[in-house]
């Protein structure tokens, strides 16, 4: 969806090596100013690749160009920052760089960022070395598009470890969406908040990434209009595929987005759910959750709020102890078919209808639900195939389970 356009961001003409601008890569010298000179010089010359050779490049924060918090480096339009060896080219945040009220980013951008990229190096966020601020959620290792948007931006073959806040974040705004984005083949682990997050976009691929032990969600896409409270989702067209996720809060979180696919992801040992669809104001619409392998999570797929259509099909969901599919708070227009459910015990609900408040005004309801032709263990308790706590339902059909 986005790869052809994003390829334009990984330019090979022009460019320079950060060592030519004074970067030492010795793990002691603050190399932020030297690397920034390389980025700025290449940007002013029309764009190209800024190359990082093997070494440990220490970075300290300075006041960010956008006037909000601190940052180590500012990526410019037309520039790709590229390492020659991902495991040996390391940007490392110095100790004790965070403080009260900061919105800290190791790599940031100012305003609109276009035709730019990051590839082939590691970022060490030194989370434990940030002292009492190591568990903050404001900021990120990579945050591009803050107070602007991203156009034709690629982040690929990166390793992001121990970030305070998000690992990789690409942003747009409600009236100025990011477009043609690609986050591919990265390793993100041990973040204090979300692993990969994208908001306010039209067209993104999040593919082939590995995410381990993120304190919050592993992959999170978001598209709510918090100011206008519109019921129309503002983020569209995400392909979330072939990612391997382990040990986060939720594996893939689809919040108020439309026209998105989550497929062929392997999600293991997440603390809350494998996949969650959630509504704030904007209506999640035309979402497909298919061919994922989800294991060891309390809930396989969790739903919250009315939707404009969600298809859950051909997933393998195992080892859950709360529900295979949970439908919570006014859920509507969900179809689930072709899935295999293998719960921890025969007493765990396959489908759980769970209103948040019984007797609310108006009463919460479950509406337009079609769950059929799914597989369950032969000895599963028939009373636990569908456990429904809603008192108000409209066109709810749950049945046709195949025992195997």
- Residue 8: per-residue pLDDT: 35
Closest to 119 in 3D by CA, of 21, 11, 20, 13: 11
Q: What does each of the 404 residues of the chain score in pLDDT, given as a tens digit?
A: 444 333 333 334 456 999 999 999 999 999 999 999 999 999 999 999 999 999 999 999 998 887 788 999 999 999 999 999 999 999 999 999 987 767 899 999 989 999 999 999 999 999 999 998 899 888 899 999 988 999 999 999 999 999 999 999 999 999 999 999 999 999 999 999 999 999 999 999 999 999 999 999 999 999 999 899 999 999 999 999 999 999 999 999 999 999 999 999 999 999 999 999 999 999 999 999 999 999 999 999 999 999 999 999 999 999 999 999 999 999 999 999 999 999 999 999 999 999 998 888 889 999 999 999 999 999 999 999 999 999 999 999 999 999 99
d(CA 206, CA 2): 10
Cβ–Cβ under 8 Å, residues 332 and 353 = no
d(CA 57, CA 301): 41
**Pairing assessment for the beta strands 166-171 and 235-241 based on DSSP bridges:** unpaired
Sign of the Cα torsion 139, 135, 168, 108 reads: positive
- Residue 3: per-residue pLDDT: 40
d(CA 245, CA 210): 6
> pTM of the predicted model, to two decimals?
0.95
d(CA 340, CA 377): 9
- Residue 14: per-residue pLDDT: 54
d(CA 322, CA 302): 10
């Amino acid at each position: 969806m986005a790869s052809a356009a994003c390829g334009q961001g990984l330019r090979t003409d022009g460019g320079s090596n950060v060592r030519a601008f004074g970067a030492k890569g010795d793990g002691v010298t603050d190399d932020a100013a030297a690397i920034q000179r390389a980025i700025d010089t290449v940007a002013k010359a029309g764009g190209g690749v800024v190359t990082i050779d093997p070494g440990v490049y220490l970075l300290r924060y300075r006041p960010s160009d956008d006037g909000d918090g601190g940052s180590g480096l500012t990526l410019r339009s037309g520039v790709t920052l590229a390492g020659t060896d991902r495991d040996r080219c390391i940007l490392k945040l110095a100790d004790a760089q965070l403080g009260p009220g900061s919105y800290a980013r190791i790599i940031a951008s100012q305003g609109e960022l276009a035709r730019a990229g990051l590839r082939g190096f590691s970022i060490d966020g030194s989370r434990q070395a940030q002292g009492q601020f190591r568990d903050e959620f404001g900021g990120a290792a990579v945050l591009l598009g803050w107070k602007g948007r991203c156009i034709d931006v690629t982040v690929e073959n990166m390793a992001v470890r121990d970030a305070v806040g998000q690992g990789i974040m690409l942003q747009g705004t409600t009236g100025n969406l990011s477009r043609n984005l690609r986050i591919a083949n990265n390793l993100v682990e041990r973040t204090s908040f979300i692993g990969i997050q994208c908001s306010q976009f039209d067209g993104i691929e999040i593919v082939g990434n590995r995410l381990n032990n993120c304190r919050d969600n592993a992959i999170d896409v978001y598209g709510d209009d918090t100011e206008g409270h519109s019921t129309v989702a503002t983020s569209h067209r995400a392909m979330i595929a072939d990612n391997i996720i382990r040990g986060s809060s939720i594996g893939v979180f689809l919040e108020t987005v439309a026209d998105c696919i989550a497929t062929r992801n392997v999600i293991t040992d997440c603390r809350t759910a494998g996949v969650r669809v959630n509504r704030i104001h904007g209506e999640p619409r035309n979402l497909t959750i298919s061919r994922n392998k989800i294991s060891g999570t309390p809930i396989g797929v969790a739903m919250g709020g009315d939707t404009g259509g969600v298809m859950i099909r051909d997933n393998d969901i195992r080892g859950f102890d709360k529900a295979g599919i949970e439908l919570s708070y006014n859920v509507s227009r969900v179809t689930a078919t072709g899935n295999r459910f293998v719960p921890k015990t025969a007493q765990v609900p396959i489908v759980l209808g769970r209103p948040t408040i019984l007797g609310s005004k108006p009463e919460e309801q479950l509406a337009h639900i079609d769950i059929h032709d799914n597989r369950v263990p032969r000895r599963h308790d028939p009373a636990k195939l569908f456990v429904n706590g809603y008192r108000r339902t409209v066109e709810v059909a749950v049945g046709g389970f195949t025992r195997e």
